Amino acid sequence: MSHRPTSLFSCAVALALACSSSAPTVKLRFEPPKADQTDVAVGEEVSYRIRLIGESKVDWDAVRIVSSCDCVTAEVAAAPDEATAEIQVTIHGTKAERIEAHVEARQKASDAKPATGAGPVEPLANHAIDLAITRRPFVTPREVELKQAKDARFELVVGQAFAPDAKLPGSILKDLDVAKLDAKKIELVDMVDDPVARTEDDQIVRTRLVFAVVAVDPKAAFETTIPIEFGEPPVKREVKVRWRGAKPAADGGH
C-alpha cells in the first residue's frame, strides 16, 4: 500500500517539514508507538494526539509525515520545540474495514527509489494503529472541550451506518432526558435530523443536537456530562463537557 504524504503545517506557520532533503541526525520515536482504534464507526471521525520525539535537537526541515491509507491523516498540532512535535492523528470512518494502519516519520530523500538491489527505505519512526471501522452507533465528538464559555454553543452528532438495503429507523435518537442535564451549565436549544447520507456501501443516519452554555461566570471552570441513548440496537453514552476557565489577562506592566 502506498504512503500518502500529509502536510505538517498550515500556511500560517510558514514552515513545511518537507522543504529540505537533508537527513535528521538524531533518532526519532513516536509516543505511544501503538494505538487501539478498534471502536470506530462508519461515518465517524476520531482524533487523538501523539508525540514525535527526538533524542536531541531535531532538524525538522528534514522530516515529513506519511500515512498508510486514506482513512488516516496526521498533522502537527502546533509548531514543535527543539526535540518534540505534537501530532494530531485523525481516523476517517469512510467505510467498514479491519486493518493495521501506520503513521510514519520519514526523511524527504526516502521518497526516491532505493538503489538497485537495496531493500525498502525504513521510516525514521513508526506509529502502528490497530484499526476496526464497523457499522455501529456513534456520537461525535466523544468529548467536548470548550474554547469559550460566555454565549458559547456546541454541537453533538449521533449517528449510525446501515446496509444499503436496510430499513432505516424512524429516529436514531432514543432518549435525551433534558431533566438530567445540569441546567446551571448547559441547555439543549435545537435538534435537527440530517438528510440520509448514501454511499455505495452504506446509508448513514445522523441527528444534530445543539447546546448552549448557560454558566454565567466565564472565569469559573466546570465539567458536566450529557447522558444520551441512541442507535440500533440502542447504546448509552455519557459525553463529557469541559470548560477549563478563562485565563487571567496578561499584565501589561501598567
Domain shared by 66 and 177, yes or no:
no
Helix, strand, coil shares, percent, the chain, to 5: 5, 50, 50
Domain shared by 51 and 100, yes or no:
yes
Per-residue pLDDT at 249? 57
Q: Per the domain annotation, does 160 fall within a domain?
A: yes
Domain shared by 188 and 119, yes or no:
no
Domain shared by 113 and 207, yes or no:
no
Last residue of a domain, one of 134, 152, 186: 134
Per-residue pLDDT at 78? 87
Domain shared by 130 and 8, yes or no:
yes
Determine contact, residues 59/22, Cβ cutoff 8 Å.
Answer: yes
User: Which set of grid coordinates corresponds to residue 172?
Assistant: 436514531
CATH of the domain at 236: 2.60.40
Averaged pLDDT, 8-13:
33
Domain shared by 179 and 147, yes or no:
yes
Q: Is the pLDDT of residue 192 over 90?
A: yes
Q: Per the domain annotation, does 10 fall within a domain?
A: yes
Domain shared by 127 and 15, yes or no:
yes
User: Which set of grid coordinates corresponds to residue 214?
Assistant: 448557560
Q: Per the domain annotation, does 253 fall within a domain?
A: no
Summarised one tens digit per residue, pLDDT across range 219-241 is 788 899 999 999 999 999 999 99
Closest CA to 137 of 110, 172, 167: 172
Per-residue pLDDT at 121? 80
- The percent of residues in the chain predicted with pLDDT above 70, rounded, is 81
More confident residue, 107 or 51: 51
Q: Give 125's DSSP letter.
A: E
Summarised one tens digit per residue, pLDDT across range 55-64 is 999 999 899 9
Q: Where residue 217 falls among pLDDT bands split at 50, 70, 90?
A: confident
Q: Is the pLDDT of residue 70 over 50?
A: yes
Q: Per the domain annotation, does 251 fall within a domain?
A: no
Last residue of a domain, one of 134, 165, 190: 134
- Give residue 220's domain range: 138-243
Q: Is the pLDDT of residue 137 over 60?
A: yes
Domain shared by 181 and 119, yes or no:
no
Per-residue pLDDT at 5? 45
Domain shared by 180 and 155, yes or no:
yes
Task: Give 61's contacts (C-beta < 8 A, 6+ positions apart).
Answer: 15, 17, 19, 20, 22
Domains in the chain, number = 2
Residue 158 pairs in a beta bridge with: 139, 207
The CA distance from 3 to 172, in Å, is 37
Among all chains, which residue has been given the C-alpha cell 524527504? Answer: 108
Give the pairing of strands 222-230 and 173-175. Answer: antiparallel
Summarised one tens digit per residue, pLDDT across range 147-158 is 877 778 999 999
Q: Per the domain annotation, does 248 fall within a domain?
A: no
